Amino acid sequence: MSDDGAIVRQVLAGDTDAYRVLIGRHQDRFARFAFRMLGNREDAEEALQDAFVRAYRALGQCADPDRFDNWCFRILANRCRTRGARRGRYEATFVPDEPALQSAADPASTNGTGPEEAEEVYRALGLLDEASRESFLLKYVEELTYEEMAEITGDSVSALKMRVKRACDRLRQLLEAKHV
C-alpha cells in the first residue's frame, strides 16, 4: 500500500492505465463497504465506479498520495450517501443479489446456520439508519480508528462514537428479538 503515492504520481504524469493498479488494489475492500452500505450489487458497483472516476478527476487534489486509499474511501462514502439518499430506502432484496452470501454461511466466529442467518443479519444491518450503518461498518468491518472515521466522514469523533453505540444497540435489539 505504501507505494500508492508512486502510482498516483505516475497517473498524474499522464499514464492513465496505471490507474488500474490503484483500482485493483482497493476495489475489493471498497466494494465490500459499498455492498454493505447499499445492499445490492448494482447500486454498489455504480457507486464504486463513480467514486473511482471522481477520484481520478480530482487526483491532483489528493494532498497525500501515499494515503490514496483513505482519500478515495472518503469519496466512496460520499457517493454511497448520495446514492442512498436518492434511493430512499435500503432494499431488503439484499441477499439474493449478493453472491458472497453462498460462501457466507457459518463464519468461524459465529454459530451461523447458513444463508438464512446471513439474510437475517444483512437485513438487520439494512434496517439501521444510514449514518449508523456507515459508522458501524467503518468501525467494525474496516476497523478504523475514530480519528480515521472522522477524516472520512467529516463528522466529529463524539458523534461517531454515539452512532456506533446506537448501531450496536439497534442490531442487538433486532437480532435478539428474533431469537428470543
User: What are the DSSP calls for 68-115, one per residue?
Assistant: HHHHHHHHHHHHHHHHHHHH-S--GGGGGG-GGGGGTSS-TTS---SH
Closest distance of CB 153 from another protein, Å:
17
Closest distance of CB 92 from another protein, Å:
15
DSSP H or E segment with residue 142: none
Place of cell 451461523: 112
d(CA 88, CA 112): 30
Closest distance of CB 172 from another protein, Å:
5
The nearer residue to another protein, 151 or 162, going by C-beta atoms, is 162
Of 63-71, 81-89, 138-146, 147-155, which part binds another protein (CB under 8 A)? 138-146
Q: Which of residues 27-66 bind another protein (CB under 8 A)?
A: 27-28, 31-32, 34-36, 44-45, 48-49, 52-54, 56-61
Is 25 one of the binding residues for another protein (CB under 8 A)? no
Q: Which residues contact 153 (CB under 8 A, 6 or more apart)?
A: 74, 77, 134, 135, 138, 160
Of 65-73, 84-92, 119-127, 147-155, which part binds another protein (CB under 8 A)? 119-127
The nearer residue to another protein, 15 or 129, going by C-beta atoms, is 15
Is 107 one of the binding residues for another protein (CB under 8 A)? yes
Is 18 one of the binding residues for another protein (CB under 8 A)? no
Sign of the alpha-carbon dihedral angle for 55, 45, 2, 11: negative
User: What are the DSSP calls for 3-16, one per residue?
Assistant: THHHHHHHHHTT-G
Three-state DSSP state, 155: coil
Q: Rule CB under 8 A: which residues touch another protein?
A: 11-17, 19-20, 23-24, 27-28, 31-32, 34-36, 44-45, 48-49, 52-54, 56-61, 98-101, 103-104, 107-112, 117-118, 121-122, 124-125, 136-137, 139-141, 164-165, 168-169, 171-172, 175-176
